[in-house]
Structure formats: structure tokens, C-alpha cells
Structure 1
Amino acid sequence: MRILFLNPVGVLGGAERALLDLLACLRRLDPALSLHLLAGTEGPLLDEARALGVDSRLLPLPERLSALGDSGLRGQGAGALWGLARGLAPVPGLLAGYLHALRREVRSLRPQLLHSNGIKTHLLSPATMGLPVARVWHIHDFIGERPLVRRALRGLRALATAAIANSRAVGTDAGEVLGSVPIHVVYNGVDVERFAPGPGEGSRLDALAGLPPAPEGTLRLGLVATYARWKGHDLFLQAAARLVRERPTRPVRFYLVGAPLYRTPDSQFSEEELRGLVEQLGLSGRVGLVPFQREPAAVYRALDIFVHASTRREPFGLTIAEALACGRPAIISRASGAAEQLTEGVDALTLSSGDAEALAAAMRTLVGDAGLRERLGQAARRTAAERFSRERYAREILNIYRALPRTEGSS
């Protein structure tokens, strides 16, 4: 089977890391598969896919198309919609050119299956109309919450042979938009050998953040995420400030690990904003900003407590699975897809989204109870190995591929 994967960007966000794990495992599960990748921007995704033996190519998405998005329209008024409309003005011409280039690439590669790994590539499905190819849309987001995307994908759903959702909540949401398109729920997976318990180097984390070495016995709490505003960096800092005000002499440090990876600036914090918030909350010297890390396993091991603080529903939360696999005690929003597979108080502490007081209370509990941290970390590792392995993930997706109806001209 010849499979062509389409990804809008070349950076390594959660959807891209999940894609790399899928590619690595598909190759082992069925060496006869012919795997190909097209990405819309330069970045490490292409290099890492090539290292896996995947034929990987850049098909440059015009900057105006790459930066376009409506995720910031949730709850916004007419002004935000008008701003987006202005940005759309030159899009038809750019889109027509890109659709033509994409169709040419697909016809050249002659895949039997197209696996679209992002909303922007789902929207490009008309490029392949009339070609003998099955189309799988991998849904990594709540498309029903995005007004323009919802409308567009509803209009294009006849082009989707099937869809894969990365959590039950995402699958339910997608079903309301995609109607009769078969939707399969497959929870993301991670490499549980690479992400595994081991000694952590807290001093390296300090160095990456530009902080002096922490005193012996300091507990390190961290949030690992892109700088998307809904990831809860501000909530994490507010909870940290509460904890520090209660016990100013307690040896704790807090870390924000990540960067503004994507090309939609209005939906992301800048580093300057976050540093300003740290100072405003009186946390200078207590909080370190660690740049995006290509090898995050060492970051998780260096943390004593992992925090997931998204302020709205998280489709899955790959960093959750990675941190659990590293045996980290974790505080996690219940509104994350990964939390569907967790048990409160057994393998994580869970809480409602957007509640700084509840987050501070959970932090206080774990900071003060070493035994609980140990128990949660051990259970987290077991859960990750059983439910979030990338082998399970790839096997379930390969079974979906094999069950797809054959298209005319496929073999």
C-alpha cells in the first residue's frame, strides 16, 4: 500500500510528534508499506521523517495561507471576524495555485491512501477530486468550535473516506460536523522506551532557563506546551504565585517549557508577555522560561511535578502521555482527551479547566506529600505503558487503513 501523509507545517507540535511515532511503527508493522510525506513549511518534521526512511518533501504553503486561522474567533465579536475577512481577501488566487501544485504531486506519487494530519490539509481535499485515492482525515482538534472550519469541512465531508479522532470527545464533536463519515477513536501514542523513568538533571533545567542552580531539595514544577494562549501559561503562573505567597520560604521553582511554534501570532503568547507576567506576579527568580526542546524526555525527568493547565478542552494532550510515561506525578485538566484514560487520584490528580485556585491547591498537595508523588508516578508509568504506547497506536490505525473500501485503480 502506498500512503501519502499531508501535514500543514514542518515544526514539531503534538500532532507532528504523533505522526512521527506513527511513521516509525508502521514501517515495523508492515515493511511492504510505501510511506511518503508532504509538508507545507520547512522544519524538523521533514528531517526526522527522512531519518525514518520516509520519502519526505516540502510543498511550500504560501505564507498568507500558512498564517491563516480562525481558532481565535471563539467568543470574539464582529471585529475579529472582520479582521479575518480582510486576511482572506488574497486567498482565492493563492489557494487555486496551491491546489494545482498539490494535485500534480499526488498524481506523481500515485498513493492509494491520503492521510491528512491537519485542518489545513483537510481543507485541501478538493485538490484530489476524481483521483483513485482514499482520504483519511486525522482530527486533532474540536472542529465544531471553529466557525469557519466547521462550515468548510461540513461542505467537504463527502471527500473524506473516514476520519480518525484522537479522543472520544473529539470524535463526538467531529461526528456533529462530518455526519455519516465513519469516525474511529484512536488515542495518541508515545515511545514508552524513549519516554521512561530515569534520573533527572534539575541543574540543566536551571541552566536552560538562565537561572542560578537551585538549592538542594528544591522541587521543580513545570508546564510543557507551545505558547498557545489556551494552554494555560497565565493560569499556571497565577497558581504558582498563590503557592509562593502562602509559603514564601518553601524551596520550589516553576518552569514554562516551549515556544510560539506556529504562524498564527494572535493566538499565542510572546516570550515578552510571559516574562512581563512573571514580574507582575512577583515571581522573578522563581520562574524559568526554557526554550522548546527537541528531546523533551530529559525535561520531564528533571521535573518533580508535571502540570497540564489548558483553559479549554484539550483534544488529547501528547505532553500528558509523555510525562506519565516518564513516571512523573501529574496535575491534569479533566477536559483533556488523555484524561479519558486516567483515574483521579490513582495515576494523576485531575481538576476542572481554568481554575487557578484548584490548581494551586493540587500543587500544594503534591509539594507537601512525597509519598503521594511516588505513588502517582509509579501508577502513571503503568498506565502509559498499557494505554499510550505508540505500537498500540500504529496497530489500530493500520487496521483502519486495511478496512477502508478499495478505490478504483488501487491495488
Structure 2
Amino acid sequence: MRWLFLSPVGVVGGAERTLLDLLDCLRRTPEAPWLGLIAGAEGPLTEQARALGVETLALPLPAGLAALGDSQLRGAGVESFLRFGASVARATPAAASHLRALQRALRDSRPTLVHSNGLKTHLLCALCTPGAPVVWHLHDFLGERPLVRRVLRVAGVRAAAAIANSAAVAEDARRVLGRVPVYPVHNGVDTERFSPGPAEGPRLDALAGLPPASEDTVRLGLVATYARWKGQEVFLQAAARLRARSPARAMRFYVVGSPVYRTPGSQFSEAELRTTAHALGLEGHVGFIPFQSEPAPIYRALDGVVHASTRPEPFGMTIVEAMSCARAVVVSAAGGAAELVRSGHDALTFAPGDVEGLAGAMARLAGEPELRARLGEEARRSVLARFTRERYAARVRDVYARVLEGRT
């Protein structure tokens, strides 16, 4: 067996961490297949895949193609669509050249199954002749994409099956893709890497360039890419309300992440977020920490981890990672994220975009150490029961078996 994986990027975000976990589990199985990866750029993804022994090729996406994305067209006017069309036209010649190179790489790899891990590779692969059945891994709500959903519905005739990272994403995908079989498979987490451990709070202060906080300081943080819908502004607004209500309580807030992807207009800059924090009177109380390639110590150093996405989350990898570290989490409960937790049992929840609801949940974590401890313990138990990466990889292999046996 020869299983080939396609990624449009070389960075490591949530979808790519999931891919690396899958590759690591697959290579450890009895009679492990040959594993290959073609990525759209060199970067941490290709480095880590090679370290796992995966035969890896970086086939750089042209800059114009890499920057294309229709997420900014949600609710946009005619002018935005015209600009997008002009960008597509400019990217087409380079995209054609890249497509020919991808076709050659697919032919040379001789795969028995192709696993595409991103929207751009779904589309590119549909224009090639892979010589093997193709499985699309869906990490986003296709129905929210103004143009891509239409193109993927047509391109879906080339997909043997799709894996969705939550039941919510699967339901959405079935409406968009029509006859393509869609299998919901929750992501998994490495429970040894993301495990309980010492909480080194002062390390957060050092990374953020803040003076050391007092020993009784409660630390709450949001860990996410700087995509605008990840809720950094909501988190900062809630932090400001909490500070105003309890000015004497020792608290610090942390925004951890960076603008990772290359699609313009879809992400905050750090300067924007710092300006927001200043306007809210949070200077000295909030720290900004860049993307961390090893996030487990960050989760452990926080007393509570906040997920504040303003749109339904397809899955919510940071939620499960923090839970696996036995941290108390607050979750914006919509989409796939709502499937991950039981409110009051292993997490606290609030409605997306509800600043007051988030501030209330954060206040409970800040003021009730026994609650934080109980939620963290139950969170770890939930992950061990439902979200191990071994369970995840086994379910993905089941989908592969159905595809290869023609049982979809």
C-alpha cells in the first residue's frame, strides 16, 4: 500500500497538527504502508513529516495561488467579487504550471490512495489524474464559502469519500457535496505530549515581555491563530469587563498565536490587537505571546484556557489539547466545538460573540479554584475516553478500507 497525503501549506495549524498525528500513528501500525507527503511550501510541516520518516516533497504553491481565498467574500459586495476575479485571473498561468508539476509528482509517487488535507489541494487534485481514489479531509464548513462550495460540488465527482472533523461539518458537507460519502471522524490528540504537568506561570510572563506576576495571580489565555473569527477581540473585551468588576483580584490575560496563513484580510495583526488592548485599558494586564511550536507548556501554565470563536468552530483542536493537559476550558459552544464538551461537567460554555457570557465564565474560573481543578480533571478523562489520536487514526483507516474495498 502507498498512501500519499497532500497539504496546501507548510505551516502547522490545527489541520496540519492533525495530519502529523495521523502520519505518526499510521507509521506505527503493523504492516505500515508507504507514506508520502506533498506540501505547498517548505516549513514546519515538511520538517516534522520528514522527522517521522515520511517521504516528503515541497511543491511550492505560486504566491498568487497561495494567497487566494474566498472567506473574505462572505457578505461582500460586487467590488470585492471583481477584485477576487482579477486575482484569480492573475494567478491562473502560475496555477497551470503548478498543476502540471503536481500531476508529475502524483504519477511518480504511484499512490494506491490519496488523502487531501486542504481546500486548495481538493481542487487541484480534482483537476489531476491521481491514478488512485482520493479522500478529502474537511476541516471547514463548506457552506460558508461563497465560491468554493460551488466549485467543490462539481469537483466532488472526483472524490471517493470525505472525512469531516465533526458531525456538524459532516452535515454541512453532505448538503454541499451531494453524493460524496461523508464520514464524521473527530480529531485526536497525543495524550502523552499533551498531558498534565507543572504549571510554569512565570514563563508566560517572560514570553510576553511582562514583569513577573505575584504568586496568587490567575492566568487566563486564548491560544489560536490570528484569524479574525477566532475571537481575540471578544476575549479582550471580556477581560476588560472582568478587570472592571474585580480590580483588586490578581489576574493576567494572554493572547497566544500569530497570523499563520497567507490569505490577505482574514487575520488580525498583532498591532491591531495591541491597539484594542490599549483602548480597553488592559495595558500591563495582557500579554501577547507569538505562535509556539510546542504549545503544551503554554496550556499547563494557564489556569484557564478560553476558546472564543465568533463563528461555529469546525472542531476546535486547542480545546481538546488544553483538556488533555487537564486545564479548565471555556468554550464558545457552536458547531463542532459544542460536540467536544459537556457544559458544567468538563468545561464551561457561552454563546459565540457573547462578551457578557464569556466574562461571566471567566469570572467563575478566576474566583473558584475548586471548580478549575474539577473541570480540569474531568476534561482529561473525557479526552482519554473520546479523543486519543490512536482512536482517531483507527477510524480514518476504517474509511480508507471502505474506499479501497469499494464499499462507500
Task: Indicate the TM-score class for this superposition, using the shorter chain for normalisation.
Answer: over 0.9
Q: Match for residue 151 of structure 1?
A: 150
Deviation at 1:336, TM superposition (A): 4.1
SS class of match (1:261): coil
Deviation at 1:404, TM superposition (A): 1.1
Q: Distance in 2 between matches of 1:376 and 1:351?
A: 15
Q: Match for residue 124 of structure 1?
A: 124
Contact 1:102 1:127 in 2 (8 A): no
Q: Mapping of 1:131-146 within 5 angstroms?
A: 131-146=130-145
Q: Match for residue 41 of structure 1?
A: 41
SS class of match (2:326): coil
Match status 1:165 vs 2:155: no
Contact 2:26 2:32 in 1 (8 A): no
Q: Distance in 2 between matches of 1:393 and 1:403?
A: 16
Identical amino acids, percent of aligned pairs: 59
Q: Match for residue 311 of structure 1?
A: 310
Q: Match for residue 248 of structure 1?
A: 247
Q: Match for residue 393 of structure 2?
A: 394
* Partner amino acid, structure 2, of 1:53: G
Deviation at 1:366, TM superposition (A): 1.4
Deviation at 1:75, TM superposition (A): 2.0
Q: Distance in 1 between matches of 2:189 and 2:404?
A: 29
Contact 2:312 2:337 in 1 (8 A): no
Q: Distance in 2 between matches of 1:319 and 1:128?
A: 34
Contact 1:166 1:187 in 2 (8 A): yes
Q: Mapping of 1:209-358 within 5 angstroms?
A: 209-358=208-357
Q: Distance in 1 between matches of 2:259 and 2:322?
A: 21
Q: Mapping of 1:2-81 within 5 angstroms?
A: 2-81=2-81
Q: Distance in 2 between matches of 1:303 and 1:32?
A: 38
* Partner amino acid, structure 1, of 2:272: E
* Partner amino acid, structure 2, of 1:135: V
Deviation at 1:83, TM superposition (A): 2.1
Q: Deviations over 1:91-138 (max 9, x none)?
A: 222221111110000000100111000000001023433x43000000
Deviation at 1:392, TM superposition (A): 0.3
Deviation at 1:86, TM superposition (A): 2.0
Deviation at 1:32, TM superposition (A): 2.9
* Partner amino acid, structure 2, of 1:308: H
* Partner amino acid, structure 1, of 2:173: A
Q: Deviations over 1:307-340 (max 9, x none)?
A: 0000001100100010000000110011141431
**Structure 2: 5+ residue stretches without partners:** none
Q: State the superposition RMSD in angstroms.
A: 1.1
Contact 1:321 1:338 in 2 (8 A): no
Deviation at 1:399, TM superposition (A): 1.2
Q: Deviations over 1:383-406 (max 9, x none)?
A: 011111100000100111112145
* Partner amino acid, structure 1, of 2:224: A
Q: Mapping of 1:189-200 within 5 angstroms?
A: 189-200=188-199
Change (3 A) 1:338 1:31: farther
Q: Distance in 2 between matches of 1:341 and 1:214?
A: 33
Q: Distance in 2 between matches of 1:14 and 1:164?
A: 15
Q: Distance in 2 between matches of 1:247 and 1:126?
A: 55
Contact 1:255 1:290 in 2 (8 A): yes
Give the number of equivalent residue pairs: 406
